[in-house]
């Protein structure tokens, strides 16, 4: 981790004319990179720092890990932590306050964890090349290594706190049971592996496991064609949040953004924004790029579809503007019994066109009855929240 101390900054530039790069470096103030403090978050922040260093060798960077409210308090019901007048997001609130004050210059987030509406004076500076966006099944060490969803013993308990993951799995594997599982990646794996663990398996994002070098634990990659599981909006992509109007930070961020991921995730987020009305929605998506000089469909390992700003296309790489953005969406009721899905593809020649595509898809899903599923879920959520709140008050 690189850090610039005050002493470095105060060192007078070297009289030796050959030391110009050093003196240029010390004259630019360091860029403070905010991140949550979990192991995964810090790995992600270091990857972004490295990309920025490669793009701007004359700049220095500081990584500033910050403990988020959601990381501190693991007891209070989640919905209650985010309650209140100016409810700041559980995972991003502290970091955003520091960014607004100027204590940070950029924040590295998992795009998946970012609300679709950001604070007024902050903005998404860039979305970076997507890692594998799929969910992954991790099996208990007590079960045979080749166990997958279809061969789990009936009535097995899956650890996940995600309504999206549970609802989609109930739809196809109605005998599975689900139990809450919170904590960062290491904690969740620890709870699965514990001697007295209630879980037969858990679901985690493949991206996080891959970044931590834990993908050897993955028993099955889940997708629409494998287990009928579509991932969360923005899953697998990192994002950089900056202050609106901060031209230095915007330039830094733009330099490392990935255009395909940006357009695909912008479509996904516009879809979610149009459907959510303030509460989280159990919606699964899959997006990919198709056509334009014969590129495969489906998830493409990042290298095969990378195209960074300002860099020429690699040989054989299709022009993004000649490709179709393919989008598959599924909204499922909590019990898995009702669902509305839609698949489509179109050319999107800008982020704005991608957002229009996302909103159009939301409209079609609503026409097909997704609104009824979502209304029911938001009612059930309110009842559950009320019940939890009463229990919480009674326990005090
Ligand atoms: N909800 C927490 C979270 N936010 C992002 C990731 C994974 C990494 C990513 O999607 O980029 C995870 C862990 C998980 O869902 O397993």
What ipTM is given for this predicted complex?
0.95
Tell me, what CATH number does 276's domain have?
Answer: 3.30.160.40
pLDDT tens figures, 184-212: 999 999 999 999 999 999 999 999 999 99
Q: Give the count of beta carbons closer than 10 Å to the beta carbon of residue 351.
A: 17
Q: Whose CA is nearest to atom 8 of ligand 1?
A: 208
Do 79 and 146 reside in the same domain of the chain?
no
Which one is catalytic: 105, 113, 135, 246?
Answer: 113
CA of 129 to the centre of ligand 1 (A): 15
Do 43 and 74 reside in the same domain of the chain?
yes
Do 178 and 155 reside in the same domain of the chain?
yes
User: pLDDT at position 40, please?
Assistant: 96
| Residue 168 counted as domain residue | yes
Do 98 and 145 reside in the same domain of the chain?
no
Do 275 and 391 reside in the same domain of the chain?
yes
| Residue 8 counted as domain residue | no
Q: Which ligand 1 atom minimizes the distance to the CA of 133?
A: 10
Q: Which ligand 1 atom minimizes the distance to the CA of 44?
A: 11
CA of 207 to the centre of ligand 1 (A): 7
CB 195 within 8 A of CB 113: no
Partners of 139 in the beta sheet?
A: 201
Exposure string for 175-202, b = 16+ CB within 10 A, e = fewer: ebebeebeebbeebbebbeeeebebbbb
Do 249 and 122 reside in the same domain of the chain?
yes
Do 224 and 243 reside in the same domain of the chain?
no
Do 106 and 144 reside in the same domain of the chain?
no
Do 48 and 185 reside in the same domain of the chain?
no
CA of 193 to the centre of ligand 1 (A): 20
Q: Whose CA is nearest to atom 7 of ligand 1?
A: 208
Range of the domain at 118: 31-127+238-257
For the question of residue 113 being annotated catalytic, the response is yes
Do 77 and 47 reside in the same domain of the chain?
yes
User: pLDDT at position 396, please?
Assistant: 74
Q: Which ligand 1 atom minimizes the distance to the CA of 203?
A: 16
Pocket of ligand 1 from Cβ distances under 6 Å: 110, 112-113, 204-205, 207-208, 235-236
User: pLDDT at position 238, please?
Assistant: 98
pTM: 0.85
| Residue 186 counted as domain residue | yes
Do 250 and 272 reside in the same domain of the chain?
no
**What span, in angstroms and rounded, lies between the C-alpha atoms of 395 and 387?**
12
CB 285 within 8 A of CB 265: no
| Residue 7 counted as domain residue | no
pLDDT tens string, the chain, 396 residues long: the values are: 444 443 443 334 444 444 444 445 567 899 999 999 999 999 999 999 999 999 999 999 999 999 876 666 555 545 444 444 334 466 788 999 999 999 999 999 999 999 999 999 999 999 999 999 999 999 999 999 999 999 999 889 999 999 999 999 999 999 999 999 999 999 999 999 999 999 999 999 999 999 999 999 999 999 999 999 999 999 999 999 999 999 999 999 999 999 999 999 999 999 999 998 655 678 999 999 998 764 443 344 443 333 334 445 566 678 999 999 999 999 999 999 999 999 999 999 999 999 999 999 999 999 999 999 998 888 877 888 888 888 888 887
User: pLDDT at position 16, please?
Assistant: 45
Q: At what angle do helices 185-193 and 39-55 cross, to 10 degrees?
A: 140
User: pLDDT at position 383, please?
Assistant: 86
Q: How many domains does the chain have?
A: 3
User: pLDDT at position 386, please?
Assistant: 87
Do 262 and 245 reside in the same domain of the chain?
no
């Amino acid at each position: 981790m690189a850090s610039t101390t005050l002493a470095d900054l105060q060192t007078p530039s070297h009289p030796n004319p050959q030391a110009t790069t050093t003196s240029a470096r010390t004259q630019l103030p360091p860029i403070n990179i905010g991140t949550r403090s979990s192991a995964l978050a810090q790995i992600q922040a270091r990857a972004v720092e490295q990309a920025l260093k490669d793009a701007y060798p004359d700049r220095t960077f500081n990584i500033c890990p910050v403990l988020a409210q959601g990381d501190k308090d693991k007891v209070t019901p989640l919905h209650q932590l985010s309650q209140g007048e100016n409810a700041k997001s559980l995972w991003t609130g502290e970091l955003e306050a520091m960014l607004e004050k100027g204590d940070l210059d950029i924040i590295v987030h998992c795009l998946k964890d970012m609300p679709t509406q950001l604070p007024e004076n902050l903005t998404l500076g860039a979305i970076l090349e997507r890692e594998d966006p799929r969910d992954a099944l991790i099996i208990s060490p007590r079960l045979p290594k080749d166990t997958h969803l279809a061969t789990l013993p009936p009535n097995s308990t899956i650890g996940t706190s995600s309504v999206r993951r549970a609802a989609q799995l109930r739809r196809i594997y109605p005998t599975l049971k689900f139990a809450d599982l919170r904590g960062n990646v290491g904690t969740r794996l620890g709870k699965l592996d514990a001697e007295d663990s209630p879980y037969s398996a858990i679901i985690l994002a493949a991206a996080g496991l891959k970044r931590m070098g834990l993908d050897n634990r993955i028993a099955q990659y889940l997708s629409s064609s494998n287990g009928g599981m579509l991932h969360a909006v923005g899953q697998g992509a990192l994002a950089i949040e900056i202050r609106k109007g901060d031209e230095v930070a915007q330039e830094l961020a733009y330099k490392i953004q990935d255009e395909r991921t940006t357009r695909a995730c912008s479509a996904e987020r516009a879809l979610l924004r149009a459907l959510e009305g303030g509460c989280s929605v159990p919606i699964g998506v899959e997006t990919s790029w198709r056509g334009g000089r014969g590129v495969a469909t489906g998830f493409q390992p990042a290298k095969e579809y990378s195209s960074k700003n300002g860099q020429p296309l690699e040989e054989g790489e299709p022009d993004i503007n000649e490709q179709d953005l393919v989008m598959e969406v599924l909204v499922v009721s909590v019990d898995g019994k009702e669902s509305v899905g839609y698949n489509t593809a179109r050319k999107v020649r800008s982020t704005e066109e991608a957002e229009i595509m996302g909103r159009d898809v939301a409209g079609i899903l609503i026409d097909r009855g997704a609104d009824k599923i979502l209304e029911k879920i938001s009612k059930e959520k309110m009842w559950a929240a009320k019940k939890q709140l009463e229990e919480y008050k009674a326990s005090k």
